[in-house]
């Protein structure tokens, strides 16, 4: 990987993270998820099975019990995994629910997932850009979890 390739990868990934941050704030404004909602944004770099993965995580933690004693979480993620031989990219929206909501049962559920595997870095970056852009409809995807406004 050349210095230019690395720079492009980091620049695109940072742009995707910021775009998801913006989409998350817009969704929080558009969709009333409750009176106690925490929204956090993180990057992670992890090693998995001989590959390195960079992940952007945007978590909606929705209190459904006093002082967040019970929580429904919705994670919006974008990631690229790079090994010596190949790359992959993924976007997903996952729910981990302590209480049924939005037609989803208690436990873990996948609301949406897009994946591109066994591609080169340029294709993984292209896929990630497009998949993140497609999440501009995040408000619609979170609408089933809306609660009536007070």
pLDDT tens digits, residue range 61-114? 999 988 888 999 999 999 999 999 999 999 999 999 999 998 999 999 999 999
pLDDT at 4 exceeding the cut of 70: yes
* pLDDT at residue number 137: 86
Residue 59: pLDDT band by 50, 70, 90 thresholds?
A: very high
pTM: 0.93
Residue 1, pLDDT > 70, answer no
Residue 90 tokens, joined:
């993924």
Judging by beta carbons within 10 Å of its beta carbon (0-12, 13-18, 19+), is residue 8 exposed, middle or buried?
A: middle
Which of the residue ranges 16-25, 49-58, 114-123, 132-141 would you say has the lowest mean pLDDT?
Answer: 132-141
Written as six digits, the tokens of 66 are 């006093």
92's CB contacts (< 8 A; 6+ apart) are 75, 76, 77, 110, 112, 113, 114
Q: Mean pLDDT, the chain, as a whole number?
A: 94
């Amino acid at each position: 990987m050349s210095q230019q390739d690395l720079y492009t990868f980091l620049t695109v990934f940072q742009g995707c993270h910021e775009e998801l941050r913006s989409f998350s704030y817009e969704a929080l404004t558009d969709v009333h998820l409750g009176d106690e909602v925490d929204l956090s944004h993180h990057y992670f770099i992890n090693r998995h099975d001989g590959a390195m993965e960079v992940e952007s995580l945007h978590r909606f933690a929705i209190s459904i019990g006093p002082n967040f004693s019970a929580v429904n979480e919705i994670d919006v993620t974008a990631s690229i995994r790079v090994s010596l031989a190949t790359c992959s990219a993924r976007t997903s929206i996952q729910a981990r629910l302590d209480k049924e909501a939005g037609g989803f049962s208690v436990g873990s559920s996948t609301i949406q997932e897009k994946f591109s595997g066994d591609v080169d870095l340029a294709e993984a970056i292209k896929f990630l850009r497009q998949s993140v852009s497609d999440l501009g409809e995040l408000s619609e995807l979170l609408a089933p979890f809306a609660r009536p406004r007070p």
